[in-house]
Amino acid sequence: MSRRLLGLTIRLIRLVVVVCVSACADLPPRGVVEYSNAITDTESTVLGQVAGRSTRSGYSGVALLPAGEFAFGARSALTAKAERSIDVQYFHLHFDPAGSEFLRELRDAARRGVRVRLLVDDLHAAGTYRLLTGLAAHDGVQVRLFNPLPVRQGDVQARMWQSWYDINRFNSRMHNKLFVADNAVAIVGGRNIADEYFMRHAVANFVDLDVIVAGPVVHDLSHSFDWYWNSDLAYPMHALLPVPDPAQSRVSFDQAVDAFDSDWLRQPAADRHGQTPIAIQLEQGKLQLHVANARVYVDPPSKAAMSRALGAMRIGNWMNRDWLQSEQSSQSIALLSVMNVLAMAESDVYIVNPYIVPGQAGMAAMNAVVKRGVQARVYTNSLGSTDHLMVHVAYSRYRADLLRMGVDLYELNAESAGRGGRLGAFGKSIARMHTKVAIADRRWVAVGSANLDSRSAFSNTELTVVLDCAPLADELIQLILNDYQTSMYRLRLAEYGSMIEWLWTDADGKTKLTSEEPLIERLPTGPERLKFLVVDEDLL
C-alpha cells in the first residue's frame, strides 16, 4: 500500500467514525453551578504584603523556578502562607507522592479557612476521582473537571477507545497550568503535578521550568482562572460523581494522602543558581524578583468546544491545515503570542520546547526570522528522550530544512543529561525535555504551557505569559547555554547536505559524532512501524 493510499485510508476511517457518532454514553446534567470570582481584597494578607514589598509600583515581579525540588517547595510555601484563597488549574494531577502531598496541603489550607478552588482537566483524572471527590467533600473546597468525558472509568488509552464516537471531545483538553495564592503570588509554566515534574520519578523525569510572579500580572492570571472556572465546560465533581457519604469520603481521602511520607521532597539551602527556597524568602518578608512588564495571553475555554464542533467539518481537510493559518487561528492566542515574540526579534532568539511540529507557516515564520539576520537556536527532545514518539517522527521531517535555513538545532541527550547534576539529580531515570520558553533579543520572554505543534494550536487550550525583562532573559540564556546545551546533541548537515549528523561530548570530554539517529531502536519494527512513518501531525 502506498503512503498516499494509506493516508487516504486513515482519513476515511476518521470520517466514518465522525459520521457514526451516536449516543453511546452521555454526561449527566451539570446542574446549578455556583458562579464565583477571585478574591480581590488580599493586600493585607501576608502574601499580599510580601508581594507589595517585592515589586515596584505599576510593575510585576518575576523569578525562575528551574529546579524541581524548589518548584514544588514554592507551591507548598505559598499554600502554607495563604489566608484567603488558593486557585489551582492543571492538565494532569497524578496519584503519587507529589500529587498526594499537593492535595493534602490544599486540604490543610481549607481547614484553616482558606477557600480552595481546584480545576483539573478530565483526561488523566480517572485515577484520582476518589481523591478529588474526597477533597471536594471538605468544607471550603470546590473541585471541578474541565471538559469531562462521558466514560468515567479506565486509563487514558481505555477511555480513548471507549470515546471513539466523540474523539474530538477526547482531543480537546485544558492544557493550562496555574497556581494562585491570595490573588497576590502565582506560579505559571510547564509543570503538572506528578513526581516526574519534580525530579522524583524512578523511571523518567522532566527538565522543566516555572516562573513565580507577583504584581499586576497575578490579577490577570486570576481573571483567566475565573474564565475557566465559570465556563460551561467546567463540571463540579458532585455532578459527575455524587458522594452518598461525604464523611466517609473525607476519611478515605485523609487515609490515602496521609499514607505518603510528608517529607518526601527536601530542598537544599540554595539551588545551583544561588536562589534560596521560596519558604525562606517568605519568612524574610520579600521575594527575590526581577522587575518586569508582563502580559497574559490565554486561549478562551470555548476553544475546546469549538475544536469539537469543527472536527467533522475539518475531517476532509486534515493534511491542508496549518497551525498559523486556519479558520481557528484567532483561537490560538497563547501560541500566537509566542510566535509574535519571535517575529519581532532583531538579534537573536532561543526556543526551548519539547514538541515541535511547525507546519508550513511555522517554517516560513522561522525562515523570515533567520533571513533578517537573527541568530536562531532551537532546543527540543531527541528520539531517545521524547515521551511521544509520533510527535518526534513528525518533527523529524523538518530538521534538515531548519538546518539549511541556518537554525542551530539541539536535541536532549537522554544518556548524558544527568551528568554533573546540571539539570537535576536523575539517578538512573531517563531525562526528558518539557520546558516551554522563548526568548528574543535578550529582553522578551514567553513562558507557559503551549507546545509548538498543531495540538496546542487547534485542540488544547493554553496559557502564556510574555515578560519584558532583560535580567530574566539573561538568566534564562545562561541556563540554556550552561545547563541545557551542554547536555544535548548538536545537529548539523553532513558535507553534502543530504544527511544529518549528531555531535555530543562524552564523559571523558571527547567529541563524538554519528550519522545514525541516536537510539533509533526505540522505533517499532515491522508492520507496527508504519503508524510512525505515516504520521498525520494534526492528531498530535
| Domain ranges across the chain | 46-263+277-290, 322-539
Instruction: Give the per-residue pLDDT at 221.
Output: 98
Residue type (1 letter), 246: P
364-389 pLDDT per residue, tens? 999 999 999 999 999 999 999 999 99
Region 321-326: mean pLDDT is 38
Helices (H), 359-398: 359-371, 389-396
Please tell me if the domain spanning 46-263+277-290 has the same topology as the one spanning 322-539. yes
CA atoms within 13 A on the CB side of 74: 32
Digit-coded pLDDT (tens) for 282-319: 999 999 999 999 999 999 998 877 655 444 333 233 22
CA 252, CA 176: separation in Å to the nearest integer? 29
Mean pLDDT within 69-96? 96
- Answer yes or no: are the C-beta atoms of 212 and 186 closer than 8 Å: yes
C-alpha cell recorded at residue 418? 544527568
| Mean pLDDT along residues 19-31 | 63
Which of 215-224, 225-234, 418-427 shows the lowest mean pLDDT across its residues? 418-427
* pLDDT category of residue 528 using cuts at 50, 70 and 90: low
Q: Where are the beta strands (DSSP E) in 217-300?
A: 234-236, 290-298
Question: pLDDT tens across 455-482, in order?
Answer: 899 889 999 999 999 999 999 999 999 9
pLDDT band at residue 495 under the 50/70/90 scheme:
confident
pLDDT digits (tens, 9 = 90+) for 135-149: 999 999 999 999 998
pLDDT in tens, 231-261: 999 999 999 988 889 999 999 999 999 887 7
Report the DSSP beta bridge partners of residue 204: 430
| 97-111 vs 246-258: helix crossing angle, rounded to 10 | 130
Task: Give the pLDDT of residue 309.
Answer: 47
**What pLDDT score does 407 carry?**
97
When pLDDT is cut at 50, 70 and 90, the band that residue 498 belongs to is confident
**Averaged over 92-112, what is the pLDDT?**
95
Residue 23 banded pLDDT, cuts 50, 70, 90: very low
pTM of the model: 0.89
> For every residue of 460-528, which 3-state class applies, written as one string?
CECEEEEEECHHHHHHHHHHHHHHHHHHEEEEEECCCCCCEEEEEECCCCCEEEECCCCCHHHCCCHHH
Query: Residue 344: which pLDDT band, with cuts at 50, 70 and 90?
Result: very high
Find the radius of gyration of the CA atoms of the chain. Answer: 23
Residue 157: predicted pLDDT: 63
What single-letter DSSP state applies at residue 423?
Answer: S
**173, 461 contact by CB (below 8 A):** yes
Q: Please provide the average confidence, as pLDDT, over all residues in the chain.
A: 86
Instruction: Give every CB contact of residue 245 below 8 A, 6+ residues apart in sequence.
Output: none
Structural domain 46-263+277-290, CATH architecture: 2-Layer Sandwich (3.30)
CATH class for the region spanning 322-539: alpha beta
- C-alpha cell belonging to residue 472: 530574566
